Amino acid sequence: MNFFSLIVLVAIALLGMNSCAPQPTKEVPEPYKKGQKAFHKICSNCHGSDAMGKHTQAPRLIDEEYLAPNFTDDDIRETALNGTDKMPSQRKNVTKEELTEIIKYLRYSQKAAGLEPEEEEEDEG
């Protein structure tokens, strides 16, 4: 059926476009891809691909210092929106939804890197 082939072609074209975007070095599971993409678009320039902050001006966020007990989701949100002395505000570059996805992605990456808070707490989610 022609309509169906058209859909397939459009899907292939979209996938092709996707692969032109800057690629992170780490593969993340599907639920975190959106956040990873947003991070790459908005934060990577300074924080490094995969938030490792290598050779960049900004700290790596995959670090104990930024685990949830030390640096909460709200802290990340506030930092991104308001900036700090050294980090410019990203309020104009990031949407609320993107920020939520970015935080999800960062938390996943911290875990994937083997970083765990001292005590396991299940008070969220």
Residues that bind ligand HEC (CB under 6 A): 42-43, 45-47, 57-59, 61, 66, 76, 79-80, 84-88, 90, 94, 102
User: What number of CA atoms fall less than 13 Å from residue 58's CA on the CB side?
Assistant: 22
Least distance in Å: CB of 28 to ligand HEC?
16
Position 34, amino acid: K
Position 57, amino acid: Q
Q: Are 30 and 82 in contact (CB under 8 A)?
A: no
Least distance in Å: CB of 12 to ligand HEC?
31
CB closer to ligand HEC out of 20 and 96: 96
Q: How many whole angstroms separate alpha carbon 48 and alpha carbon 57?
A: 9
Q: How many whole angstroms separate alpha carbon 3 and alpha carbon 82?
A: 48
Q: Please give the angle made by the CA atoms of 62, 63 and 69, to the nearest 5 degrees.
A: 105
CB closer to ligand HEC out of 60 and 112: 60
Least distance in Å: CB of 79 to ligand HEC?
4
CB closer to ligand HEC out of 44 and 122: 44
Least distance in Å: CB of 106 to ligand HEC?
7
